[in-house]
Amino acid sequence: MGYIELMDISKSYNKQRNVLNGIDLQIEKGEFFVLVGPSGSGKSTLLRMIAGLEEISGGTLKISEKIVNHLPPKDRNLSMVFQNYALYPHLTVEQNILFGLNAQKVDREIQQKRLEETAQMMGLNELLKRKPRELSGGQRQRVALARAVVSEAPLCLMDEPLSNLDAKLRANMRIEIRRLQKRLGLTMVYVTHDQVEAMTMGDRIMVLNDGIIQQVGEPIDLYNKPSNLFVATFIGSPKMNLGKAILEDSNLIIENVLTIPFEHLEMPKNLKSRNLVIGIRAEHMPYGDENQQVQNVEIVNVEHLGNETLISFEVGTELWTAKWLGQWLIQVGDKVPVHISVENMCFFDEDTGNLIQEATFTHKQEVVRR
């Protein structure tokens, strides 16, 4: 049994089409669990249902083995951090942090003790007498976090808390939130539309689209073994390169322009007589050398990122991107050899979009676990 259990949860408004459909999920105690998906996928609605801010249309929600479908938010023993911080502009930082404890009529001495510990942890000691308008975006976010931490609730829900911050501050806050969660042993459910946040922060990720769970798993599993085409293109930056493919003799023909031999690999029987879409990650298409099967492609775009270079080229109607470590002095219009191998490809069923076979290289490489 999980600390949070969602059993056949659904949500609809005015008995119209469901916003969420048959959500079955378990979140473990002490886990950093990320809900990720595009705008309108239902992830914030699901989080608000866990919080008690949205009514559950169908199914059962349990927190710590207790059914909480009809419990108000104050009785669910949780805290929440919102996207817009939700700070009271007329109150000081100290008053904002202690607002919930005051509402619960917690003893003054306990309030001050928790305030001192939390302010020290969040680096807010010198800001306690300021008003929110005197703070930067990152400082306001830390105040919102401090208000959640000071409640000492074992469950913390976060709804896109970093979306209003600039890129550098967002990266710093990701580390800060993760360290805080581990230090306090919180169970955290974190909503984001940013797959980089999901990949770097979550113990496990649930990918949601159009109210339906697409895949649940550890970040590296979603990256290496996406269950369908949606996950393949949503998880990873740049996204997985895709192309329609057919099998002909001992060759794989992609978008009618690339012919990739199976070489020493045996052609899997489950790929024959099917409409295929292949997927390959950008980093799995290195610069080709004379000892490899290569495809000579014409570069249509180059992105120099300092530590790596992204090159883009056309494969039929598709635009593919390869990622090469280091700085490559390549220009648009150049023709370069690229090594594209079948063993680096995931195979999907074109009709259903589901994964048929993961890339075989994942069986060869060793994933280090400690």
pLDDT on residue 264:
58
Could you report the per-residue pLDDT of 327-341, keeping only the tens digit for each?
999 999 999 999 999
Q: Does residue 363 surpass a pLDDT of 50?
A: no
For the chain, the distance separating the N- and C-terminal CA atoms, rounded to the nearest angstrom, is 25
Q: Which two tokens stand for residue 339?
A: 């090594």
Q: Does residue 5 surpass a pLDDT of 90?
A: yes
CA proximity to 46, closest of 219, 37, 77: 37
At 110 the three-state DSSP class reads helix
Q: Across the strands, what pairs with 252?
A: 247, 260
Under a CB-based contact definition with an 8 Å cutoff, are residues 257 and 315 in contact? yes
Return the residue matching tokens 């994933």.
Answer: 367
Give the pLDDT band (50/70/90) at residue 172.
confident
Helices (H) and strands (E) in the chain, counts: 9, 20
Between 343 and 14, the higher pLDDT residue: 343
Could you report the per-residue pLDDT of 174-203, keeping only the tens digit for each?
888 898 899 889 999 999 999 889 999 999
Mean pLDDT of the chain: 90
Start-end of H helices in the chain: 43-51, 93-103, 108-122, 137-150, 167-184, 195-201, 219-224, 229-234, 361-364
Q: Is the pTM of this model over 0.75?
A: yes
Q: Does residue 364 surpass a pLDDT of 60?
A: no
pLDDT on residue 367:
52
At 337 the three-state DSSP class reads strand
pLDDT mean over 28-49: 94
Q: Does residue 293 surpass a pLDDT of 60?
A: yes
Could you report the per-residue pLDDT of 98-120, keeping only the tens digit for each?
998 988 888 999 999 999 988 98
Q: Does residue 168 surpass a pLDDT of 90?
A: no
Could you report the per-residue pLDDT of 213-241, keeping only the tens digit for each?
999 999 999 999 999 999 999 999 899 99
Q: Could you give all domains of the chain from N- to C-terminal order, each with its CATH number?
A: 4-229 (3.40.50.300), 238-364 (2.40.50.140)
